[in-house]
A and B are shown apart, each in its own frame.
Chain A
């Protein structure tokens, strides 16, 4: 499949405890063929690679880029081989390691399968911990449940182009994770004037006050780089669950935790006192335009 002159970087995609969500998210990438043409794909959970999975398990190969999807379980075996052995082998010589999805980044959903031992590659929730701590400098976490295909594309393209991917303290690419999921939400006006959504299934209203929306506390660019190029959770009235953050999945995801009606968590970086002052004032003004339905389909004239 490749000649000796093939100088493209080699890419290996390995899974731990996973649902394959990142794999399927990746397959939605519109320019997937162009992206893949930049690499030699050694093995992948659903696309044909140069080698079989059993070949990879012999640990006789090396890869330039290691993508790890899923929660890391030190006792898990893949094809009869300890995952720890596979991961350590390929991580040692890989130039870049990508923790793909929130499971690989922080433990995520399947940390709960064996909470006492499962973790991400270099973080257990927000605490530094994991099998690849000694290679920490090489690790880029693309969190998200699943990770957005464009985020994967961005990271791989940057690596292929030899450009440095600047990361935050949780090793996530800053260009993707410096803003909040709130940025670009089409319900922002309702947030500004503190108009709650009345129920599910409404175009109107903000989901932050009742329905547990985490967008103002969540680093992610999914309201800017849309899902499947068309939409996002909040755009279809589903609250953000904060799936890119180390504490995902939290509990009671569809309700806003309040103490005496006051939200326990307020927008990131805003003091509670300032938030409450602003909220009290904003709530005072009744913006009629924001209180009713935007469209009345039953209207006949």
Chain B
């Protein structure tokens, strides 16, 4: 039997914790719950993460890096800003569909339990790879004259708030259609709201 490396075990903890946190929430989920899910002792768990808070922070950075990487791939494509918007929306919805724990974690844990992420995660430090890529996306959109030049947060809030809201409705099973179905209209709405006037 192949030996499981430390790195793989760590990965196992991350994906198990993501699922538990996003389903049950941060406070209800305990370390024994997580240890049990990956099949290790609580003692051994502490060899990987010193506390539940540190694990939560690690998860956040893991998601931000994952999202940042996907958006960077889109940013580096030779396509119009309108097409990039569509790609970002598709990527986000696909992720919400296929790896719902990632987006749910972001919405249910990060945004709802800010106190957990106090020290070391101030401001945008832990989500920096993702926010930086969004900055690059917006800056380039204006530079090529596709997007209206405005305040970053006004645009960022419109884009991400919209997507987050849709995923929330999807998670609550309120949406009558699958997420996939909304991609085109939402992309168009975002583009229309942000494009050059």
Contacts and interface: CB of A to CB of B under 8 A. Distances in A.
* Chains A and B directly touch (beta carbon < 8 Å): yes
B123 A280 contact: yes
B125 interface: yes
Given A272-B136, A276-B136, A280-B132, A260 B125 contact: no
A261 interface: yes
Contacts of B135: 260, 262, 276, 280
Given A264-B139, A272-B139, A273-B136, A284 B150 contact: no
Contact of A260 (B124, B128, B131, B142): B142
Contacts of A178: none
B140 to A, nearest CB: 8
A230 to B, nearest CB: 38
B128 A277 contact: yes
B136 A284 contact: no
A161 interface: no
Contacts, number: 57
Interface residues of A, number: 15
A285 B152 CA distance: 19
Contacts of B63: none
B147 interface: yes
A277 B155 CA distance: 19
A61 B122 CA distance: 71
A292 B152 CA distance: 25
Contacts of B21: none
A284 B124 contact: yes
A258 B149 CA distance: 8
Contact of A259 (B122, B124, B142): B142
Nearest to B150: A260
Nearest to A285: B122
Contact of A283 (B123, B132, B136, B150): B123
A262 B129 contact: no
Interface string A74-117: 00000000000000000000000000000000000000000000
A285 B128 CA distance: 14
Interface of A: 258-262, 264, 272-273, 276-277, 280-281, 283-285
Interface of B: 122-125, 128-129, 131-133, 135-136, 138-143, 147, 149-153, 155
